[in-house]
Amino acid sequence: MKPLFLFFFMALIQVGATQKTVATPDVVYGELFTDVQLSRIFPDNKTFVDCVPKRDPAAIVADYRRIKANPAIRFSLELFVQENFYVPSTPASGYKSTEPDVAQHLKELWTVLKRGNDSVVRGSSLLPLPHPYIVPGGRFREIYYWDSYFTMLGLRESGEGDMIEHMVRNFAYLINTYGHIPNGNRSYYLSRSQPPFFALMVRMLAGIKGDAVYTEMLPALQGEWDYWMDKTGPTKHVVRMPDGSLLNRYYDQLDKPRQESYAEDVATAKEAGNKKGIYRHLRSGAESGWDFSSRWFADGQNISTIQTTNIIPVDLNALLFALEETLALAYEQNGDAAKAQRYRDAAAARKKAINKYCWSVAMGWYTDYNITTFRHTRTWTLAGLVPFFLNVAPQNHIYIAAQNTKQRFLKPGGLITTDQRTGQQWDAPNGWAPLQWMAIVGFENYAQPQLARTIAERWLQLNTDVYKRTGKMMEKYNVVETDLEAGGGEYPSQDGFGWTNGVLMAIIAKYKGF
């Protein structure tokens, strides 16, 4: 076992020099890409970047330039795209169940959301994965990084341990191949990652398959840490704080419009006066998973003031604390006491820095920290409960945090995401499954079982009520006006939905008395 482990470990160390580079749709199609996205022949910019060419992309581009340059040719851009590309369908979005029992419906949904291992398709933006996986649903036709942890909660309750293993192995493959886990398995997502839940996925799999998982996944865990800590290249995720401690931020590697939201980003940049770095801030907001939220806005209201890379996010750093703890455990399992201690020390240092820079005594809440103003952002967001979910917070913080949760966040359908109404989907009045789950577990961790149960009961009731009305599980919910749909964001509300299903199944299993 050890020689094999060392081989993979050394291979992973070299990944920064050998990781694949893949051309993205804007590079492949040039002016055709720009014309299609800005003309909005597809209402959703994600549609074109998911298209598959019917023939050689270079030939398609050459024909497009020739036709476009000839004024004698009557030309339809929409028809040209239809003739030269296979346009993707969204099979899960049309799925509606007549099953009266929501729990049974959730189990049936795995077959709707399951995808087999991928084949290489020339010209496709999909990054092929070697094992089966679960997609969120709707417009999200590929695996997503942080979504998958919450989806796995439900897979575990469904006895789908093999699928969890497949997905963990896919993420390890992505680290080994590309140097990190991208936002999703698409070429246009390679410039960024998402909230680093891989360590928690490994912990879950070890709970199912045994502690040997830690040794097997150690190279991937190390690769994940190396990426976030700028060891595989100048990713600029690491920030040295005023006292010399290290914390992290979100930082996309590109500063140009997102390919899958090209028109929206161009419009936002125009609104912002094309300020320097606006595209990187937008992309980094997407890396956070909270795309978009007032927590990233300088004025707390308008996306044109987005400043993501200036922010030290409390939840990101709590997740990296968990990664460092998991690395310590994995090295201990592998018999390397020195490295185990190194990562225990790193976790302890990060925990201390989080509590120094992200706990606001004045608010009685964990908030983000702005590295340009050297102050708390003073934003009220549910990210402030992640330190309780991951046991970063000292016990004495729970009492004021619980009080603030009841007063500021608890609504008829669960917890609102922030206390601001901006029209963005990661703000009020919306609630999201992963944030409900982390709050529930966090309050359980810190001896607040009644508040945890109240949140769970309200979220379950809302999910169930919407399912009875629509026959569907949704990506997000309006937790304030529970008879209305959630809104905001760059696309219509999606149904499916991987992480909603996973969290609801976990809640039902946790509170069997419901």
Residues forming the active site: 291, 475
- Cβ atoms of 431 and 415 closer than 8 Å: yes
148 SS3 class: helix
What is the C-alpha to C-alpha distance for residues 197 and 220, in angstroms, rounded to an integer?
A: 12
**Distance between the two ends of the chain, CA-based, in angstroms?**
46
CA 394 remoteness from chain centre? 27
User: CB under 8 Å to 425, separation ≥6 — which residues?
Assistant: 291, 292, 476, 486, 487, 488, 489
Cβ-based neighbour number of residue 498 at 10 Å: 29
H helix intervals, 297-415:
314-333, 337-357, 386-389, 398-404
Q: Tokens 């022949």 belong to which residue? A: 41
- Buried b / exposed e over 118-137, threshold 16 CB at 10 Å, is beeeebbbbbebebbbbbbb
287, 250 Cβ separation under 8 angstroms: yes
User: ∠300-303-308 over CA atoms, to 5°?
Assistant: 80
Go through the chain and tell me how many residues it has.
Answer: 514
From residue 439, alpha-carbon distances to 37, 43, 401, 429, 463 in Å are 39, 35, 11, 17, 17
Closest CA to 171 of 139, 188, 194, 138: 194
3-state secondary structure of 284: helix
Q: Where are the alpha helices (DSSP H) in 358-494?
A: 386-389, 398-404, 433-445, 449-470
Contact 199, 326 (CB under 8 A): yes
